[in-house]
Amino acid sequence: MNATSAAVDFSPTLRLLALAAALALLPLAWWWWRHRAAGALARRAALTVLTLFLTFDLVVFGAFTRLTDSGLGCPDWPGCYGEASPIAASVQIAGAEAQQPTGPVTERKAWIEMVHRYLAGAVGALILVLATLSVRARRELPFSLGWPLATVAWVIVQGLFGKYTVTLKLYPAIVTLHLFGGLVLLALLAVQAQRYHGRALALAAATRALLAAALLLLAVQVLLGAWVSTNYAVLACRGFPQCNGQWWPAPMDAQQGFTVLRHLGRAGEGGFLPAEALVAIHWAHRVFALVLVSALLALALALWRQAGGAARRAALALLALTALQVATGAANVVLHWPLAAALLHTGGAAALSGLLVSLQVRAVATSSSHVAVSRPSHRPASQ
């Protein structure tokens, strides 16, 4: 009985949850003070936007954690060597760093990894607060209660992805889903934020079809990009626009490259993953980028042709983000994967996702009502 009790120690988890709640109190206090005179609806809308912004920051910081090889900075989960902070685990971290000075565990990497977990916990706490407020005001919500509840459920899924990213030692399929899941969380919050504002955008049927197609293509490209990053295939192709001096690189091993159930650096049938597989992974992402960019340019042109300044502003934002993605994607190859370009590439993908999801929400609202709305349909003063 004593051995069993000693084996299950929840104290690090409880301390981490307490720390996450304390961190969440900072933006909550700012939000309450800033919007204390506003109506209940306006306060919930502001908190949704604030949580959306912090989730975007979390996605970028998650990329920073990945790009600095800090994903195993603390080799257990949720704590660090069973402690709630690297300070308490300093002896174990120092010992691991002494054995491998450039290995996965160093003091710097441990702090980066734990800060990422702290931020994730704080965002999760904010999402739980949002869901609680939504349940209390479910009759006045401008969207289904299923959206905030689904967001809470997805936070739990993301937490599990984060756990298995560590415990399975950067298993590529899990890491890819974890990276993609951050953008899914962003999209769920973007839907709610847009619904609070209630501004519909009148779009032609062809433009709405282009928008839906672009959103689907972006999801595929994000998965391909996450697979490139997860497998460290960014530099498998040297040069741009050619790959290793060829317009169509050969040889490539797509079968090995896209074997999903395998460990990092390992082939599906055993042994190490060949370089030809990494080339195939990189090249698939680059070729599909041409498809996505074509769709985004077509969508931007269709939006520009729509009547009204809102559609044209959306077209300009879409063009700017597309240009950013092309420039940072090329810079990652030409400049040998600099941290700044890689972070901008991730941030651009997150911003593109938020923009397309917001446009989709606005377009769906218009397609059912056929009325362009410029102001929220629910007034804060009435709450």
Name the token pair of 35: 């919007």
Structure tokens at 92: 């174990």
- 64, burial (CB in 10 Å: exposed 0-12, middle 13-18, buried 19+): middle
Taking every pair of Cα atoms in the chain, the longest distance, rounded to a whole number of angstroms, is 73
Provide the annotated active-site residues. Answer: 113
**Alpha carbons 109 and 86: distance in angstroms, whole number:** 10
CA dist., res. 141 & res. 196, Å (int): 8
Partners of 83 in the beta sheet? 80
Are 202 and 306 in contact by the 8 Å Cβ rule? The answer is: yes
CA distances from 216 to 2, 57, 245 (A): 53, 23, 31
List all residues 6 or more positions away from 30 whose beta carbon is below 8 Å from its beta carbon.
none
> Distance (Å, rounded) from C-alpha 360 to C-alpha 165?
32
In the structure encoding, which two tokens stand for residue 240, read together? Answer: 């741009």
CA 105: distance to chain centroid?
24
Q: Residue 302: name the closest of 288, 319, 325 by CA.
A: 319
86: preceding bond cis by omega (within 30 degrees)? no
CA dist 135 and 128 (Å) reads 11
